[in-house]
Amino acid sequence: MKSTADLRAWLLWVIKIRFVIITLVFAIDFATREFAPGSGAVGSIERLGVVTVLWYVIGLFFLIYHQLGHDYFLQARLQIYVDIAIITAVVHVTGDLASDYLSLYLVVIILASILFPRAQAYLVAGVSFACLGAMVEIANLPGLYPELVAAHPGLAFLASSSAPMDPRALGVRIAASLFGFFAVAYLASFLAETLRRTDVELRDKAGQVESLAAINENIIQSMRGGLIHAGLDGVIYELNPAGARILGRTAEEMKGRQIQTALPELELPPLEANVPEPAVPQPGLPKTPAPVSDQAVIPAEAGIHSWSPPGAYARREVAYRRPDGAARILGYSVSPLRLPEKGVSGYIYTFQDLTDEKRRESEYQARDRMATLGRVAAAIAHEIRNPLASIAGSVQVLQSLGGLENDQAKLIEIVSRESARLEKLVSEFLAYSREQRLEFRLVDLAALLDETLLLVEHHPLVLPGGCKVERRFPSKPVMAAVDPDRMRQVLWNICDNSLKAMPSGGVLSVVLEDNGGSSVRVILADTGIGLTAEQLDRLFEPFRPGFAQGTGLGLAITRQIVEAHGGAIRVESEPGKGARCVIDLPRERELSQEAPLPEAVAQSHRD
C-alpha cells in the first residue's frame, strides 16, 4: 500500500491520463469514420459522443473531489470501478468484442496494480472480466435468448452493433480475455510490488545516508577544535566553524585558497618522488583547483609511510597571528584522507588554540619555581638572620663607644642602616612564606575601587607626571565577598606599578565589569612602557623588582591575595603599548570562610 502522499500524487496523474485517453478514444474513432469510412468502424458515433461527454464530466468530478477530499484510498477505488463501467460502455458502443478499445481494460488493471495491493488488482481484473462477460451476453441476447427478446422488444436496443459471432469463437474470445486480464494483473502487480519494495529500500537507504551525512556534518560543526580538509595540491575545501573562530577568518574566505599561502604556518606534508603528483596543467592553460574526485590519489596499497617521510604527521605547535593582530599558539596535526579502493586523496588538519593552555602551563611552572625558590630562600634567610642579629648588636655596641672619628662614625651608621634594611627584607620574606587567614565581608567593589583610586589620584607620581585616572563602573552596586583591606592592597600595588611605568604621564583606566554571572572582573590598564615577553613570564616571581628601590615582593603578594580569594590574575602587555591587568573574583563566598594568606601581606599593609 502506498503512503497517502504518494497515492495523492498518483491519483492526480491518473486523472490527467484519463482526460488524455478520453480525448484520444473519441478523436481516433471520429477520424476513422471521417477519413476512412470503409475501415470497418462499427457502432454509433452519437452513442460514443454521449459516453465521452459523460466520461469528461466524471473526470472533472474526480479532479474537484481530489482537491477537496482527503480519503484518497476511497477516491482510488471509486475512480477505478467507475472507469471499468465507462470502458464497458465504450467497448459496447464501438463493437463489443470487435471493439478496438478492449485494451482499455488492461490499462485499468495496470493502474489498479500500481495503486492497490496484489489482491485488489486481481479483484479489479475479475470485475473487468465480469463486466465484459455481462456486456457480451447482453449484446448477444437476440441469438442467445430469442424468446426473451421477442417478448420484450426494448431489449433489442442493447444488442451488439456488430455482426453476431459464432458461439465457439465467442467462447474462445471470452477465455482469451479472462486469461489476458489475470495475466496482466499478475505481471503488473508483481512488477508494482517489486517496485514498491525497491522504493522502500531505496528510501530507507537514502534516509540512512542522509542521517549519516547529517550526523557527520553535525559532528564536524560541533567540534570544539578546528578542522580543515585540503586536497593533495593544498587547496582548502572545508573549514568548520570552530576552526574559523580560532583562525579569525570565515569559511567562505578560506575555501578554494592554497593552504601554503592562506596559512603558511600549517605545513603541507611533502610527497616522495615515487608517488604520483597531482596532474600538471598543460602549457597555456590556466590552473584551476580540481574537485576531490578528480584529484590525484596515492594508491591504498602504498601505505602512509611509503609516501610520507617519518614525522610528517606528528603533532606540532606553531605561533599564529590572526588578522586582527592577536597572537595565538596553535597545536595541529595532519592525517591522510583515505578513500576505499582509491587510497589517499587529501589531508585532514585538526588544530586547537593552545594559548590559554600554554599560559596556564607557564603559570604552573612559575609557581613551581617560586615554591622551590621560596623553600631555599627561606632556609637561607633563616640562617642569615642569626648572624645578622649579632652584627646589628655589635654595631650598636660600637656606636655607644666614645672617641670615634667622623669617618668611623659614618661607617658604623651605614652598617647599622644597611643591617636594619637587610633585617626588614629578611623579615618580610620569612613572613611571606607563613600563612594567616583572610576575613571576608560582602562589600561594594565599585565603592572600594573609588576609595582606592581617590588615594591614587593624590599619589606623588600623578601630579608631577600629569597622569590621568579614568573610571568606568556600573551605575548599580557590585557586591562581592572579599577582604576589603587586602583588596585595597592589591589595587594599590597594581596602580603604583602602573604609575611608575608612566614617568612622562599617561592614562590609568580602571574598569569594573559585572555580567550578572558568578564572578566579577576588574581591569586596570595603563599607557606606560609595557613589558617584554620575558618580563611577563617572571612577573609574579618574588625578588624580581621592575623598578628601583623595589623589593620584588609587591606583585607576588598581590597574586597570593587574589588566589586566596579564589580568583585569578593575569597581565597582558607588549613593549611600548602599556599593560593590562585582569582580575577575576568570585562573587559569592561563605563569609565565615577563612583562606590562608602569607603574613607578609598584613605586615606590608601595616608598613
Q: Hunting for cell 598581590 — which residue is that? A: 558
Residue 227 pLDDT > 80:
yes
Structural domain contains residue 216: no
- Do 425 and 492 fall within a single domain? no
Residue 495 pLDDT > 50:
yes
Residue 376 pLDDT > 90:
no
Residue 191 pLDDT > 50:
yes
pLDDT tens, position by position, 445-480: 999 999 998 888 877 766 555 788 899 999 889 999
pLDDT band at 71 (very low <50, low <70, confident <90, very high): confident
* pLDDT value for 295: 42
Q: On the CB side of 25, how many CA atoms lie within 13 Å of its CA?
A: 29
Least confident of 126-140, 150-164, 219-233, 544-558: 150-164
Least confident of 143-147, 431-435, 601-605: 601-605
How much is the average pLDDT of 231-238? 88
Q: Hunting for cell 508483481 — which residue is that? A: 190
Task: List, in order, residues 6 or more apart from 557 with CB less than 8 Å away.
Answer: 432, 489, 493, 598, 600, 601, 604
- Do 67 and 16 fall within a single domain? yes
- Do 534 and 602 fall within a single domain? yes
Task: List, in order, residues 6 or more apart from 392 with CB less than 8 Å away.
Answer: 416, 419, 420, 423
Q: Is the pLDDT higher at 579 or at 295?
A: 579
Q: Provide the residue range defining the domain that includes 417.
A: 360-432
pLDDT tens, position by position, 320-351: 888 888 888 999 888 888 888 778 888 889 99
Burial class (CB in 10 A: 0-12, 13-18, 19+), 253: middle
pLDDT tens, position by position, 403-440: 667 777 777 778 877 777 777 777 766 656 655 568 88
- Do 150 and 16 fall within a single domain? yes
Structural domain contains residue 282: no
- Do 86 and 172 fall within a single domain? yes
How much is the average pLDDT of 549-561? 75
- Do 458 and 422 fall within a single domain? no
* pLDDT value for 583: 94
Where do runs of H (alpha helix) occur along 69-166? Answer: 72-93, 103-115, 118-139, 141-144, 146-151
How much is the average pLDDT of 267-280? 49
* pLDDT value for 544: 65
- Do 148 and 238 fall within a single domain? no
Task: List, in order, residues 6 or more apart from 477 with CB less than 8 Å away.
Answer: 444, 446, 447
Using a pLDDT cut of 90, give the percent of the chain over it.
10
pLDDT tens, position by position, 568-602: 999 998 888 899 999 999 987 755 445 454 444 44
* pLDDT value for 549: 55
DSSP annotation of 293 reads G
Distance (Å, whole) CA 90 – CA 48: 6
Residue 550's domain is classified under what CATH number?
Answer: 3.30.565.10
Distance (Å, whole) CA 380 – CA 499: 34
User: Residue 444: which of 563, 568, 558, 587 has the closest Cα?
Assistant: 587
CB 587 within 8 A of CB 567: no
- Do 176 and 194 fall within a single domain? yes
Least confident of 183-192, 223-232, 277-286: 277-286
- Do 76 and 128 fall within a single domain? yes
Distance (Å, whole) CA 291 – CA 233: 11
Q: What is the number of structural domains in the chain?
A: 4
- Do 566 and 481 fall within a single domain? yes
* pLDDT value for 283: 45
* pLDDT value for 601: 43
Q: Is the pLDDT higher at 209 or at 286?
A: 209
Structural domain contains residue 21: yes
